[in-house]
Amino acid sequence: MDDRSANLVTALVVALADALDETTGRAGAHGANGASALATIHFVPGERIDELSRVLGITGSGTVRLVDRLVADGLVERRPGRDRRSVSLWLTERGAAVAEEIVARRREVLRRALEPLTDAQRDALAAVAEPALAGMAVNRERADRICRLCDYVACPQDRCPVERAVS
């Protein structure tokens, strides 16, 4: 890939990241990490704080503070975990609605960004994205971080190139 092509791909990635941050921030989810937390808990109910911390790529104490804010806003609730020492995280009804809005907003950002492309170009982009994503999934932690805003209904675990790369 020449320098100009690399620059164009980088600009596309940055523009998409900015658009995602902006639109998920408007969902009232405490920024990008809050949006990622809600989407993760939505598709992985019962997630533990330490697991969520790894997915978000922030410290345990930072995750606890984020969860505290999400609990205070009535979006998340803590429940007893698998053992007496752990706590699992579950969305409230309102939290589930916000998480679904986040996933819908993510889908809309992508739809608008890819709208100028033909169907064949969109298919080609998806075909290129699969091996690139698989190559970036160097371990479980990175894989979970890559998929933190994914729609697991649209891309089930058994068809996910990221999941398959680390399984």
Kindly state the percentage of the chain with pLDDT values over 90.
78
pLDDT tens, residue by residue, 96-120: 999 999 999 999 999 999 999 999 9
Question: What local confidence, expressed as pLDDT, does residue 53 receive?
Answer: 95
The model's pTM is 0.86
pLDDT tens, residue by residue, 71-105: 999 999 999 988 878 899 999 999 999 999 999 99
Distances (CA, A) of 152 to 21, 64, 76: 20, 25, 19
Q: What is the mean pLDDT of the chain?
A: 92
**What are the structure tokens assigned to 139, written together?**
């371990």
Q: Are 42 and 91 in contact (CB under 8 A)?
A: yes
Could you give the strand order of the β-sheet that contains 47-48, starting from the edge strand earlier in sequence?
47-48, 87-91, 76-80
* CATH 1.10.10.10 segments of the chain: 1-116
Fold of 1-116: Arc Repressor Mutant, subunit A (1.10.10)
